[in-house]
């Protein structure tokens, strides 16, 4: 919940929907280009969701997939934050900057696709789910993850304000997501919680 679920939804609403279009607009990107870049996120989610579900069904373990999703999310955000780096934004490397941005968005989408489906399976296998019931635990998770939907734009907006609207504010969120992924893996000891009878 704290390391994967809420931060992922915060990134979706705070970065992908709210901050990134503003940042790209201020960097003089055309509206249609902004829309196509944001669609890379949706394409990544669509592609990786199908494979993530099959992988979890085959392996029977969710923590590794969730770790990779959170780690990829952090790396994707760091790549996206480089969009306003002067070395990439000007001169002969201008197309490299767009390439890095597109790679970061695609990676963020692929990473979130690795999280969306397996996290419900992960929640259903926790000791809490055994006590409350799987459907009750999943419903409670879905309710509480809305905290990320609500807080994401607020936190990202504050970070942009503190960094004078620089896209480098996104690298702070990416770094935090990498730390969260490591804490998630350490907390679980690298395994999916076992069901108790």
Per-residue pLDDT of the chain (197 residues; tens, 9 = 90+): 778 888 888 899 889 999 999 988 888 888 899 999 999 999 999 999 888 877 777 777 788 888 999 999 999 999 999 887 766 656 666 678 788 899 999 999 999 998 887 887 777 777 777 788 778 887 888 888 888 888 889 999 899 888 888 888 899 999 999 999 999 888 755 444 444 43
Q: Rounded to an integer, what distance in angstroms lies between the CA atom of residue 65 and that of residue 59?
A: 10
CATH number at 5-186: 1.20.1250.20
pTM of the model: 0.84
Q: Return the residue matching tokens 């990416």.
A: 174
Structure tokens that stand for 133 in this block: 């019931």
Cβ–Cβ < 8 Å for 100, 79: yes
Q: What is the pLDDT of residue 72?
A: 94
Catalogue the E-assigned strands of 22-63: none
CB count within 10 Å of CB 175 equals 14
Query: In 3D, which of 59, 15, 94, 19 has the Cα closest to residue 7?
Result: 15
Q: What is the pLDDT of residue 86?
A: 66
Q: Rounded to an integer, what distance in angstroms lies between the CA atom of residue 44 and that of residue 186?
A: 27
Q: What is the pLDDT of residue 45?
A: 92
Q: Rounded to an integer, what distance in angstroms lies between the CA atom of residue 188 and that of residue 193?
A: 7
Write down the domain spans for the chain: 5-186
Distance of alpha carbon 70 from the chain centroid = 6
């Amino acid at each position: 919940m704290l390391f994967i679920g809420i931060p992922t939804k915060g990134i979706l609403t705070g970065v992908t929907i709210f901050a990134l279009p503003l940042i790209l607009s201020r960097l003089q990107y055309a509206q249609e280009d902004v829309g196509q870049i944001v669609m890379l996120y949706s394409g990544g989610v669509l592609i990786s969701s199908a494979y993530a579900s099959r992988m979890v069904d085959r392996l029977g373990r969710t923590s590794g997939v969730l770790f990779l999703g959170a780690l990829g999310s952090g790396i994707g955000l760091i790549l996206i934050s480089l969009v306003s780096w002067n070395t990439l934004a000007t001169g002969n490397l201008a197309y490299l900057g767009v390439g890095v941005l597109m790679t970061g968005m695609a990676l963020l989408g692929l990473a979130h696709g690795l999280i969306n489906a397996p996290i419900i399976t992960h929640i259903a296998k926790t000791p809490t789910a055994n006590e409350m019931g799987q459907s009750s635990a999943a419903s409670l998770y879905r309710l509480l993850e809305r905290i990320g939907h609500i807080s994401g734009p607020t936190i990202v907006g504050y970070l942009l304000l503190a960094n004078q609207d620089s896209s480098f504010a996104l690298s702070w969120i990416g770094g935090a997501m990498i730390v969260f992924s490591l804490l998630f893996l350490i907390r679980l000891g690298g395994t999916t919680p076992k069901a108790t009878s």
